[in-house]
Structure 1
């Protein structure tokens, strides 16, 4: 069984000749596309060689067996790159693997059931690999971001890295776009600090998410709606909103817990890493006055449930996002009126 864990992904990407079939699946479409593109280039030398790369969309899946058994006209290794893969491909892929064809098959899929036919096929064959692609977070995301900067010969301070990771969305393409922008701003052999990072991404969708989350927790219903719509129009996704919201709730909880143990509010806030941005400090303090520690704990649980709902197939994630932030803003506004 070749089910590839996170630590072994590099071995698969660096040795594409060892595999006949690589299945990339999960809910991080950007990471799936990144791995697929890397594999295609390693096998065929480019992404668009008409003699060696056959890229199939959902509408052209019926050409799979024809492309997978075709001979290379220039003698090089062929790649059949299938996008939007589903379990309906399991039978034709198995047939090709058991036949005389030699093309490398790379399939991009979304979230597949653990016992699904395509995953079972990739995980049970010794010449195949199944790679789950899910959004990175925490230390894993920090390590990936630091590595991306290192590849571009750009450094970043720990403080700046911590703040940047807290602002990034979940999708790999979005993360890479932000890294490219920051690397271009910095230039080779420069180390980015917190102010550099804030200047560069302060007008991006991540900043709009930040605004919508802070305003909701402060009870500003109108401001929340405007900031959220701006974030969504700039390409933000509801899962990214959930991640930023959970991070904000977690920081509020840490300060609340510290003050209940006798620490002053200002001291507790100063201990946060990264620190609260000076332009956001008043909003952070207002939220502290509106939410009790039990209420924040309950809200964190509800937000985790909201994030999970957004990941369900067919979920109306944008509607769920609008409703979740609207309810939070209404609760905070009601708490403010009671004060």
Structure 2
């Protein structure tokens, strides 16, 4: 059954009522986080060999076998299957036909919308099919607030705004940075803007934002420097694509409001979250450089870059450097 994104949290909290959950989408970090939570909820932990079985891509032939196995110490079992694609459909359906309460947790990053596995399980009433996509803007800020609240840490509004504007799209990277901040603040602590910037100012996620902002503004030296720092910190090219698309979407919104007759200042005030003050200059330069037509073509180029990076054996680091160079050249690189 396809689960609406608004009901995802509630469904995951009640995952014990389901036979299986299929987690798909572009955010591999969020998929892994949700899968881990499901396994813990049913199996008690993620490393109990009696109640949890973890199957990687080369072990999918054992799905039915593991689903039918009994726990030697009692309790419900969870079978955690990673890198699932259509080839696993037969094993999954065989497992679901068994008279067992074992929970199947299926990780399927990048699974196509028309994939047989996805369409089949969306029609299965005992299977929860949940999309996991990168959060942006208000949704990301809300998730961050929740993570800090759960850890009994408070964060100032300007610090939260800055944090949500620089963090990348991958949930795994976001959680790493949040855990770092929680450790820094301590239980019951409070985080201000200076605290947050001191803790993550040099992270790959922050340099991603620097690289994309500088590139769109035409600052080749700053863009290249920030990109190389991000590469050294383990940049995900997919995260680079998401950072570019996020900035381009925000630029497009401001351009649209200006086309409707609003002044530049009025349009910027309407943007949520607002442009962080340290990025105001580069954002303004980008507005002056780009127009709606070339911005749309640049978005298409970034989407093509993301697709290319998902191909096996893709020279993704070289493609990342080329993309930043193209954006630095500006609209003339994307005119027909």
TM-score category of the 2 structures, normalised to the smaller one = 0.7 to 0.9
Deviation at 1:8, TM superposition (A): 1.3
2:111 matched residue in structure 1: 112
Q: Which segment drifts farther, 110-119 or 168-177?
A: 110-119
Gaps of 5+ in 1: 335-339
Listed as ranges, the matches of 1:322-337 within 5 Å are 322-331=321-330
1:216 matched residue in structure 2: 215
2:202 matched residue in structure 1: 203
Listed as ranges, the matches of 1:125-204 within 5 Å are 125-204=124-203
RMSD: 3.1
Q: Which segment drifts farther, 97-106 or 34-43?
A: 97-106
Deviation at 1:40, TM superposition (A): 0.5
Deviation at 1:325, TM superposition (A): 1.5
Deviation at 1:74, TM superposition (A): 1.4
Q: Distance in 2 between matches of 1:284 and 1:302?
A: 19
Q: Distance in 1 between matches of 2:262 and 2:149?
A: 42
Q: Distance in 2 between matches of 1:262 and 1:84?
A: 48
Q: Which segment drifts farther, 170-179 or 8-17?
A: 8-17
Contact in 1 for aligned 2:305/2:323 (Cα 8 Å): no
Deviation at 1:6, TM superposition (A): 1.2
Deviation at 1:157, TM superposition (A): 2.2
Listed as ranges, the matches of 1:300-339 within 5 Å are 300-312=295-307, 313-314=310-311, 316=314, 317-331=316-330
Q: Secondary structure at the match of 2:71?
A: coil
Tell me the TM-score normalised to structure 2 length. 0.84
Gaps of 5+ in 2: none
Measured against aligned partners, the alpha-carbon deviations of 1:176-208 in whole angstroms (never above 9, x if no partner) come to 011111112222333322222222111111232
Q: Distance in 2 between matches of 1:216 and 1:133?
A: 29
Measured against aligned partners, the alpha-carbon deviations of 1:229-258 in whole angstroms (never above 9, x if no partner) come to 221221222343344445555469849987
Q: Which segment drifts farther, 200-209 or 211-220?
A: 211-220
Deviation at 1:264, TM superposition (A): 9.0
Q: Which segment drifts farther, 113-122 or 27-36?
A: 113-122
Do residues 17 (structure 1) and 16 (structure 2) align? yes
Q: Select 1:292's aligned residue among 288, 293, 304.
A: 288
Cα 1:302–1:75 shift into 2, 3 Å: same
Tell me the TM-score normalised to structure 1 length. 0.84
1:337 matched residue in structure 2: none
Moved over 4 A (4+): 246-249, 251-258, 260-265, 267-272, 280-285
Cα 1:92–1:284 shift into 2, 3 Å: closer
